[in-house]
Structure 1
C-alpha cells in the first residue's frame, strides 16, 4: 500500500484550521496534558509570587480581599506580649510616661545613687524636673549640695536627660506639734521637757 504523507488528512477526518475550536482541539491526549501542565505551572508561579510578596511585607489577600488572621513564623502584634512591653505601651498611649519616670527615680533611689548616699538622704518629691532631697543631718545636707553635679550626671545616665534638672537639698526638720488651722503661740508642749 502506498503510504500517505504525514500532513495529509484521511478521508472522513476533520482537518483543524487556525481559530477553529471544533472537535479537533479536544483530539490528542498529549495536547490536553500540555495544557494542564501549563495551567499548573502558571498557578504555581502565581502562588510563589504571592509568597514572595508576603515576605516583603505585602499582605496576603483572601477571597473577600481581607488580610488573613494568623501571624506566621515572625513576631506580630497579635502574639502574646511581655508585661513590661504592654505596660510601657499603655503608659505611652495615656501620657503616663513622665509620672512613671518620676516614680522610677523615687523607687530605685539606692540603685541610682549608691547605698552610701541613699543611707543619708531621702528623696521627697520630683516635680517639673526638680528633685527635693531631705538629708539626715546638716553635714550631709552640705555634702549633698557639693555632690549635686555628680548626682545629676548619674541620674541623667540612668533615667534619661531632662528628667532631673535641679536638686534642692533640705536639711533635717524637727517634729512639729502644729496640726490644724488653730495654734497657740509659745513654746507649746516643749516646755514640759525640762
Structure 2
C-alpha cells in the first residue's frame, strides 16, 4: 500500500527549519541577540529618524515664518511713525506729496496786477515803472496848486529833482519836501522817494549826463 501525501510545511525566510505545528509567529521570531534581529532593529530606527527630523524641520519653518512676520510688522509701524522711512526699510529724502487745500496757494489763479508786478520785478524795470508813475500822476500826488508851479525832472537813487518856475516856489517846495515825500510814498504804496531837491529858474545849460568837467563859464556863443 502506498502512503497518502503529507502536506508540506512552509519554510522560514531565513533558511531555518519550519516551525512546528504548535509554534506561533511571535514564538517563532528569533531572539533579540541573534544576528537576524539586528537588521530589523536598524530598519525600525532608520524609519523613526526621518519622522523625528521632519518634525524638527516643520518647527524651524514655523519659527522662521513667525520671525519674518514680526519684522515686517515692526517695519510698518516704524514707517507710520516716520514719513521719511518707506516700507522697504531704506531712508529716502522724499517728503509726502502735498495736496492743495481750500486755503490760498501759489498755484491758485493770481490777480493780474500782482502778476504784472512780478514780471516787472523779474525784468528789472521796477525803477522805470516807479518813475513813470510819479511823472504821470504828478498832479494827483502833490495837488493841483503845487503841480502848476513845479514839475519833476529826474528820480535817481531815491532823490527826486523838481524844477520850480520861480525862486519863491523853489523855496516853498523845500519847505514842503517832508510832506511831499510822505504823500508820494503813500500814493505809490512803497518807499521810493527819500528826499526832494528843488531847483529855481536858471539860464540855459549844455550839461548832459552825470559826468562833466569844469569849463570857462558862460561866454558869448551867439555872435
> TM-score, length-normalised on structure 2?
0.44
- Higher RCO (CA-CA < 8 Å; seq separation 6+): 1
Structure of higher CA gyration radius: 2
> TM-score, length-normalised on structure 1?
0.49
